[in-house]
C-alpha cells in the first residue's frame, strides 16, 4: 500500500454507514479477498490482479475504509508466536462493551468479540510467549466484572 493507505486502523465512526448495511459488489468482494491474502499489495498490483485501474482501486479502498468495511490492515505471523482465544464471563448487568473495550486496549490482544452463549467476550491474543499470555489473562481476571476466564491455545493455524 502507499503511505497514505498504510494507516487504516481505528473503528468506523458513528456517522459512517454500517458495514452490515453497505452492499458489496463483486469487485469489492474480489478486492477484499486479495487484501486478506496480502494487505501489502500496492495499488498497481491490486489493479493488475483485479483487471481494473489504479484509480479505481484507490477510490474503492477509500470508500470501503470510510464506510467501516475495512477497519485496519494487519500482519499475520507464521507460527512464531503464541496465539490463544481467551473466553471471558462477566457479571450480569455489566456493560459488556466497556469491558470488551478495556480488553481490546491490552497490548497483545488482536481482536475482541462480544458473543452469545456460555461466555460473554472472546479475545484473540497473539504474543511472543506463554508468560505474556498469562499476564494478559491475569489482567482480565483482575477486572471488577470478570467472573471467569477460559483459554483455548491455538495449536495449528491453517
Predicted confidence (pLDDT) per residue in 58-100, tens digit: 999 888 888 888 777 766 655 568 999 999 999 999 999 999 9
What is the model's pLDDT at position 13? 37
Domain hosting 149: range is: 82-153
- Number of domains comprising the chain: 2
Asked whether residue 98 is assigned to any structural domain, the reply reads: yes
What is the model's pLDDT at position 145? 94
Pair (100, 45) in one structural domain: no
* DSSP secondary structure string for all residues of the chain: --GGGS---SPPPTTSPPTTTS---HHHHHHHHHHHH-TT--HHHHHHHHTS-HHHHHHHHHHHHHTTS---------S-SEEEEEEEEE-TT--HHHHHHHHHTSTTEEEEEE-SSS-SEEEEEEESSHHHHHHHHHHHHTSTTEEEEEEEE-----
Asked whether residue 12 is assigned to any structural domain, the reply reads: yes
CATH number of the domain bearing residue 37: 1.10.10.10
Q: Quick check: pTM over 0.75?
A: no
- Parts of the chain with a pLDDT under 50: 1-20
Amino acid at each position: 500500500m502507499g503511505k497514505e493507505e498504510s494507516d487504516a486502523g481505528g473503528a468506523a465512526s458513528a456517522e459512517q454507514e454500517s458495514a452490515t448495511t453497505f452492499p458489496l459488489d463483486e469487485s469489492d468482494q474480489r478486492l477484499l479477498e486479495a487484501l486478506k491474502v496480502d494487505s501489502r499489495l500496492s495499488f498497481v498490483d491490486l489493479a493488475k490482479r483485479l483487471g481494473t485501474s489504479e484509480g479505481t482501486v484507490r477510490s474503492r479502498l477509500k470508500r470501503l475504509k470510510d464506510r467501516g468495511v475495512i477497519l485496519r490492515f494487519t500482519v499475520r505471523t507464521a507460527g512464531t508466536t503464541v496465539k490463544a482465544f481467551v473466553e471471558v464471563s462477566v457479571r450480569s448487568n455489566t456493560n459488556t462493551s466497556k469491558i470488551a473495550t478495556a480488553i481490546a486496549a491490552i497490548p497483545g490482544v488482536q481482536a475482541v468479540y462480544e458473543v452469545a452463549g456460555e461466555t460473554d467476550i472472546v479475545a484473540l491474543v497473539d504474543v511472543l510467549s506463554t508468560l505474556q499470555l498469562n499476564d494478559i489473562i491475569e489482567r482480565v481476571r483482575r477486572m471488577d466484572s470478570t467472573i471467569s476466564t477460559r483459554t483455548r491455545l491455538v495449536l495449528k493455524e491453517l
